[in-house]
Structure 1
Amino acid sequence: MSFSSASDRKKSESAVAARGSGFRFPQRGLHVLAAVALLASGACGAPQAHPSAPNSGVVEVAPKTVDADAFGRLPVADTFGAVPDAPLDAEVRSTNGIVLHPHRELPVFDGPGGRPVARIPVMQIGSPTWLPVVARHDKWAKVLLPARPNGAAGWVFLAPSDAAVARSAFEVHVETESFQLFVTENGKEIGRWTVGVGKPVTPTPKGRTFIMASLQDARQTFSPLILPLGAHSNTYASFGGGPGTVALHGWPDPSPFGTPSSDGCIRVPDDALSLLSTLPLGTLVLIH
């Protein structure tokens, strides 16, 4: 999908598209949480790196110091970038909905106390960065990254002022073989639609990703709103001048629904897009 150029990395919060002057969570199903307290205590069932191990007695692992020069050389974990040294997330399963927003650029490590591999920006193509937390270890959170390769993840260390943490009640599930998309709220299905997915030669990438941004692009006529995901085409290194980002979006007529017809994006009916547009950024998307 084509939607923007790399210059959008520099957009400020005043450029947030389709969500007014700042990011809004829908009121239903949202719980804003204290970052360090959440990760340290396991509140709201926060995912753990080793769920069977008790938190008591865990020795805190401090992050390695990253000086300004080294930090500036780290690859940016956004949809235009690549983080070749990032650990890969191989899971395609639900989390508890914890999402994280950095208050400033943060270093990303390959493990608790490990090597720095990237830096997370505060914004993603005009929308605030919200990343799903998929595992935790003491004050460390493992998050999905919106950069290549698909499945890129990394660990961030959270000091009290580093990030906002919240819990979304929603998940999006896409079943490519049956062309079904459904949304759940607290595990209960609240909507299901027949959708269009990638063609056999340009398949929709499977795995665990998330709603990265929300934008309107005047150059596009096929959808009033585009919801880029934290995933990329495995066929195209770039597409239409963009980085090959996969997205949820509408279509002017129903002909693609129930067919493998796209270049990798997921084409959805208008009422599906209407619901999807209300979901929090960072909402988990599971593509099977």
Structure 2
Amino acid sequence: MSDAPPRAALPAAGAAAPVLLAAALLVTGCGGAGEPAPAHASPAGDASELPQATTYTTLDDLPRDASAPAAGNGTVVHPEAATPVSAKPGAPAVAELPSTQLKGPTWVPVIEARPGWRRVLLPSRPNGVTGWIPDTGLKAARSAHVVKVDLGDRTMALYDAGRKVGAWSVAVGAPKTPTPTGRTFLLASLAPAKPTYSPLILPVGAHSATLDTFGGGPGTVAFHGWPSTDVFGKAVTHGCVRVPADALKRLAAVPLGTPVLIDG
């Protein structure tokens, strides 16, 4: 195992942001405009023609995660270069997993392994899409953390090595724009270049099930803060999970690729 994956890290006052994006909010289902429309996977051909497994793409030719949401053993991997993604071990590639996502390193959780291959969760649509990648050219690490969101109770809990280390009341998706359920993961850390309602946006590898786009972005679900506390405990968002400031600070210390389990 290598060193742990990078952590989100809240920017210090007056300091440069860890991922400085003027359009940080445009990626998520929380708002924005002007982002690329999702692309769909095409038949496998030359590697350069393969679609990229990112939050902007839809990969219909790959299997879904059919297991009940579970954290697994915490293994996460980072491709040092773009790596082919197949529907089965040894099958032709139908996509590529890039080494970076949203200007940060790609870390994805491993949900199954076979000799020479690892099955990983991907950040693309449809939610729960998975793929097999060769077990070469990968950095591997282990996150001891798990984030659990209970939509019924509208709560979020953080676990470290199986021990609950924090629990908070949060705001979740409204009935017409629900937060998607299932197993996903912390995808990236985005710090807005200008002050906004949250000092940090933490996209996950899941999208709104009811909004193909929101304000021009791909409808990626994210954790983020909120300036007022009256929203917590309510179902009022477009699918994102609004969390208190102390919860955001704790999430900022969680490694990328950490499993996120969302239960309805």
Asked if residue 74 in structure 1 is aligned to residue 11 in structure 2, the reply is: no
Partner of 1:152: 129
Please state whether the residue corresponding to 1:243 is helix, strand or coil: coil
Quote the Cα distance in structure 2 between the aligned partners of 1:19 and 1:70.
Answer: 32
Whether 2:87 is the aligned partner of 1:110: answer: yes
Relative to structure 1, the CA distance from residue 147 to residue 172 in structure 2 (aligned partners, 3 Å threshold; closer, same or farther) is same
Match of 1:18 in 2: 18
**Contact 1:17/1:127 (CA < 8 Å) preserved in 2?**
no
Matching of residue 88 in structure 1 with residue 64 in structure 2 = yes
> Counterparts in 2 of 1:110-189, with a 5 A limit?
110-159=87-136, 162-189=137-164
1:272-287 to 2 correspondence within 5 Å?
Answer: 272-287=247-262
* 1-structure distance, mates of 2:17, 2:219: 20
RMSD over equivalenced CA pairs, Å? 1.6
* Alpha-carbon distance in structure 1 between the residues aligned to 2:138 and 2:66: 25
- Runs (4 or more) in structure 1 with deviation over 2 Å come to 16-20
The one-letter code sitting in structure 2 at the alignment partner of 1:88 is R
Distance change >3 Å, CA 278–CA 130, structure 1 → 2: same
Residue 42 of structure 1 aligns with which residue?
none
Shift of 1:124: 0.5
Normalised TM-score (structure 2)? 0.82
Contact 1:79 1:243 in 2 (8 A): yes
> Measured at CA, do residues 17 and 245 of structure 1 come closer, stay the same or move farther in structure 2, by a change above 3 Å?
farther
Gaps of 5+ in 2: 1-15, 21-43
Three-state SS of the structure 2 residue aligned to 1:132 is strand
Q: Which is richer in strand?
A: 2
Deviation at 1:115, TM superposition (A): 2.9
More helix by share: 1
Is 2:247 aligned against 1:269? Answer: no
**Residue 254 (structure 1) aligned with residue 229 (structure 2):** yes
Q: Could you give the per-residue CA deviations for residues 21-43 of structure 1, whole angstroms, max 9, x where no partner exists?
A: xxxxxxxxxxxxxxxxxxxxxxx
Q: Distance in 2 between matches of 1:18 and 1:168?
A: 20
Read off the aligned partner of 1:82 and give its amino acid letter: T
Equivalent position SS for 1:135? strand
Q: Report how many residues are paired.
A: 224
Q: 5+ residue gaps in structure 1?
A: 1-15, 21-66
The C-alpha deviation readout for 1:107-133, integer Å capped at 9, x for no partner, is 001011123121001111111000000
Structure with higher RCO (Cα < 8 A, 6+ apart):
2
Distance in 2 of aligned mates of 1:274 and 1:108 = 34
1:181-225 deviation per Cα after TM superposition (whole angstroms, max 9, x unaligned): 001011110000000000000000001000000011235611110
Please give the alpha-carbon distance, in whole angstroms, between the structure 1 residues aligned to 2:72 and 2:46: 33
Q: Rg: which structure is higher?
A: 1
